[in-house]
A and B are shown apart, each in its own frame.
Chain A
Amino acid sequence: MNHLRRLESQSIYILREAYKHFDNLAMLWSIGKDSTVLLWLARKAFFGHVPFPLIHIDTSYKIPAMIEYRDRLVQEWRLNLVVGQNKAALAAGMNHTMGRVVCCTALKTDGLKQVVAEKGYTGIILGVRADEEGTRAKERYFSPRDKNSEWDFRDQPPELWDQFKTTFPEGTHLRIHPLLDWTEINIWEYIRLEHIPFIDLYLDRGDGTRYRSLGCAPCTFPIKSTAKTVDDIIEELRHTTISERAGRAQDEGRGMELLRKDGYM
């Protein structure tokens, strides 16, 4: 087995454990490359089916092409899409100029919390990877969140071999992270191997830039790149020393630690 098939097998195993143990399960789909690979892995794990809803937290500031791509795949792959949006915060005029951590908390963290509370999900599958940033490097595959969706990183459950935390008190939920061991390069290698459709914002479309990570339009910036194919991206990533999320504004300072402790993805 090569390294991609190993990663694939481990992720499928985790997805199947999640499906077995959680009656009310959902997967977060940000439309980005990682959660789209995760969606593909779910179709692998369940033989072409996706037996749980996909949640998209729509901040209303997403790049429009992302929404078009989302709606196309929902049709083609017959997906059950649940769109979450913190309408109250948007009505009150929330935007990134009020502070990036404030805005992310309101539109993403709180948007997610609202959907979780409304639908009563006890398991949320997310495409976060350990190599993205420091606090994600310390995550478990099955990571508990308390009644307020808060993450107690000081006291995480043991995760031994392939035994995960699947029992939990009422009112709490688990975040499930099947992609923890994948790196950015692995994601692109797998997209190439499986011919997974991805959004072309990740490629240079002639202006010498591309997005390396996708988020809200005001807080996500393209990088200089002439990568026009997946092969080009893999070659570029082999030599870069710039971090993947350098174009993501909320990572500045202690932003991610504060956000994630509080329930951010």
Chain B
Amino acid sequence: MGKEQKSVEAPKEHLNIVIVGHVDHGKSTLLGRLYADTGSLPEGKLEKVQAICRQQGKEFEYAFLFDAFLEEQEQGITIDTARTFFSWQDRQYIIIDAPGHKEFLKNMICGAARAEAALLVIDALEGVREQSKKHGYLLSMLGVKQVAVVVNKMDLVGYRQDLFEAIEKEYREFLTQLKVIPERVVPVSAKSGDNIVTRSPRLDWYRGPTVLETLAQFTKETARTDKPLRFPVQDVYKFDARRIITGRLTSGRLKVGDRLVFSPSNKTANVKSLEGFNVEPPATEAQAGESIGITLDEQIFIERGELASHHQDLPLVSTAFRVNLFWLGRRPLECGKKYQLRLSTKEVDCEVAAIHRIVNAADLGDRQSQAVVGRNEVAELTLRTKTPLAFDLYSSFENTGRFVLVDEYDISGGGIVMELVHDEQEFLRDEARRRDFAWVKGEVGAEQRAQHYGHRAAVVLFTGAAHTGKSFLARNLEALLVAEGRHAYLLEGENLRRGLDADLTESDAMEIIRRYGEVARLLIDTGLIVVSTTKTFGLPHHQVSQAIRTLVHPAPVLTVHMSKTEEAPPPNTDLHFFGPKDFDAAAQHILDALKRRGVLAEAIGAKPTFQYSI
């Protein structure tokens, strides 16, 4: 070490940058040059790659420094993104070199999804090409707000200012339509090292910053700490006496003593402590970005996928929303097909309710409306989920306003939520929310009742036309449950008609169903398994069962559909029986389904295996 005082501090700020653009426009060369000219390559790296090139009898290219795979070097293209690291003036950059070939668009998107700023490279000779535009479009969709354009290969056009300005004008106009304003447009030659690290005399007509200076001018994303709290529940642990709810704050702050609302279940509790390992003294406050663990002051059942917030800034809750989506799947995205939707930690089944339009990223025009969205296409859709989901609009909260779709085993698309679609359940959901927030609790909690009864509260909801045997099966089920020592009750809609509904006529169908749902909700709170049969009063089955689900939410609802012949059951049906049937076997099927759901403990008297959290 030298005599002068040196700090032992490494760079304190990290910034993620992605390099994108059309294939062969020189992204990897730009990256290689940046490293070489700033002296950031490890000793011997340049020589090693040069030696490999000589051995293989080909000209050295800076791109080979990071195209690590043999196949990439042989074909001269980048297949997958590489994370590379370099430090300059107290900042560490993680630079992600994204492939430009359209076949590897999914790898480009992955790289860009991690970035806080982007360099978009355009070949001065070839000009603006298809992927130049598509990448620009995707950057805006992925929320990369800081973009600088690098016009490369100026050596091939004789460093001509007029050509540079024509490209700048064309591309700026395109970006303006996306509401993206490029921070800089920089003329360079990566191959010759012009304007990468040092200013080039051959481009003396250009007075702006070099690529390296452009990087330094990107700013660190401002903290999301000042926004309202969003805390998606990742998992619940019970390693010792503590039940710890874990997750990462995606925005805002959380303090010990805060009252939290969990959506969509509407449960509430206060933060008792922030837990940690090797943290002395224990923290009392956490902020956006932190992975934390908390305990609560009362016993409520919380599971992964709930979104915690403060009371005054709740997330949206719905089963339908309009989105912008890019599709990367091997199979096309189809209307009506089931996919798994993942939004922060929530995983829920969904289907595409409508494909509104497919966007041509190159000219931002509409394509002919289609029934499917193909690989690498961008579309506007309406999605409908099986159960209600808590989320935000992307414009107000990035992290809880974006999602992916999973097709079988693979993440096949990603998107952002543009607007909430008002579904028919909205007024019932608002009612349930207001009612749950104001609910006066007794001393006995749901967990205690479950421990005592050997089962959780649930609804078994029968649907189907008259004379399909649903009443008979419902009675059988109630009897079977009680004979097994469970606490079950047949809630027959007709029994409410002369009393609770005495002021209503059959034309008040929705109100009859609402009252029925509220009665079921009360019975659920007593810890019962409610065996539910009711007429629909002219409403579609689906609407009736959805209304009941909304009102008893988050209690588990098992839907059983009965029909005389084989027919398509209503959406979200769990079990379907048709034709002549063995009612005892059917009832047993239902019991098995309740066990699989964790409603019934395996045997009476044994400790329930299902988990409750505080």
Give A residues with C-beta under 8 Å from B: 1-3, 5-6, 8-10, 12-13, 16-17, 19-20, 43-49, 51, 130-131, 133-135, 137-138, 140, 153-154, 156-163, 165, 167-169, 180-181, 183, 185-186, 189, 194, 231, 234-235, 237-238, 241-243, 246, 254, 257
User: Which has the most chain B C-beta neighbours within 10 Å: A16, A158, A194, A254?
Assistant: A158
Complex interface: chain A residues within 8 A of B70 (CB): 254, 257
Complex interface: chain B residues within 8 A of A183 (CB): 85, 92
Q: How far is the CB of A132 from chain B (nearest CB, A)?
A: 10
Cα separation A154 to B239 with both chains bound (whole Å): 40
Is the CB–CB distance between B66 and A134 below 8 Å?
Answer: yes
Is the CB–CB distance between B409 and A167 below 8 Å?
Answer: yes
User: Which has the most chain A C-beta neighbours within 10 Å: B41, B42, B408?
Assistant: B42
Complex interface: chain B residues within 8 A of A254 (CB): 70
Complex interface: chain B residues within 8 A of A154 (CB): 71, 79-80
Is the CB–CB distance between B235 and A20 below 8 Å?
Answer: yes
The listed residue (B45, B69, B411) touching A160 by CB distance below 8 A is: B411
Q: How far is the CB of B529 from chain A (nearest CB, A)?
A: 29
CB nearest to B342 among chain A residues: A163
Is the CB–CB distance between B248 and A13 below 8 Å?
Answer: yes
CB nearest to B42 among chain A residues: A243
B39 in the interface (beta carbon within 8 A): yes
CB nearest to B10 among chain A residues: A185
Q: List 21 A-B contacts (CB under 8 A).
A: A10-B291, A12-B248, A20-B235, A44-B277, A130-B83, A130-B84, A131-B84, A137-B83, A153-B79, A157-B411, A158-B106, A163-B411, A165-B409, A165-B411, A167-B406, A180-B83, A181-B94, A185-B10, A189-B10, A237-B10, A243-B42
Chain B residues 390 to 432 lying within 8 A of chain A, measured CB to CB, are 399, 402, 404, 406, 408-412, 414
Binds A, one of B107-115, B487-495, B559-567: B107-115
Is the CB–CB distance between B409 and A137 below 8 Å?
Answer: no
Is the CB–CB distance between B69 and A153 below 8 Å?
Answer: yes
Cα separation A30 to B275 with both chains bound (whole Å): 29
Cα separation A256 to B107 with both chains bound (whole Å): 22
Q: How far is the CB of A214 from chain B (nearest CB, A)?
A: 19
Q: How far is the CB of B369 from chain A (nearest CB, A)?
A: 26
Is the CB–CB distance between A135 and B411 below 8 Å?
Answer: no
Is the CB–CB distance between A17 and B402 below 8 Å?
Answer: no
Contact with A along B76-97 (1 / 0, CB 8 A): 0001111111000000101000
Is the CB–CB distance between B109 and A158 below 8 Å?
Answer: yes
Is the CB–CB distance between A3 and B13 below 8 Å?
Answer: yes
Contact with A along B266-297 (1 / 0, CB 8 A): 00000000011110000000010111010000
B540 in the interface (beta carbon within 8 A): no
Give B residues with C-beta under 8 Å from A: 1, 6, 8, 10-14, 39, 41-45, 66, 68-71, 79-85, 92, 94, 106-107, 109-110, 113, 223, 234-235, 237, 239, 242, 244, 246, 248, 275-278, 287, 289-291, 293, 304, 328, 342, 344, 399, 402, 404, 406, 408-412, 414
CB nearest to B249 among chain A residues: A9
Cα separation A186 to B13 with both chains bound (whole Å): 12
Is the CB–CB distance between A20 and B278 below 8 Å?
Answer: no
The listed residue (B237, B248, B328) touching A46 by CB distance below 8 A is: B237
Cα separation A262 to B240 with both chains bound (whole Å): 40
Is the CB–CB distance between A3 and B43 below 8 Å?
Answer: no
Knowing A2-B12, A9-B248, A16-B291, the reply to whether A160 touches B110 (Cβ < 8 A) is yes
CB nearest to A137 among chain B residues: B82
Cα separation A260 to B1 with both chains bound (whole Å): 38
Is the CB–CB distance between B234 and A1 below 8 Å?
Answer: no
For the complex of A and B, 6 pairs with smallest distance between CB atoms: A134-B68, A243-B42, A130-B83, A12-B291, A137-B82, A9-B291
Is the CB–CB distance between B10 and A17 below 8 Å?
Answer: no
Is the CB–CB distance between A234 and B80 below 8 Å?
Answer: no
Is the CB–CB distance between A1 and B289 below 8 Å?
Answer: yes
Is the CB–CB distance between B110 and A234 below 8 Å?
Answer: no
Complex interface: chain B residues within 8 A of A163 (CB): 342, 404, 411, 414
The listed residue (A8, A135, A235) touching B68 by CB distance below 8 A is: A135
Cα separation A54 to B242 with both chains bound (whole Å): 25
Is the CB–CB distance between B277 and A47 below 8 Å?
Answer: yes
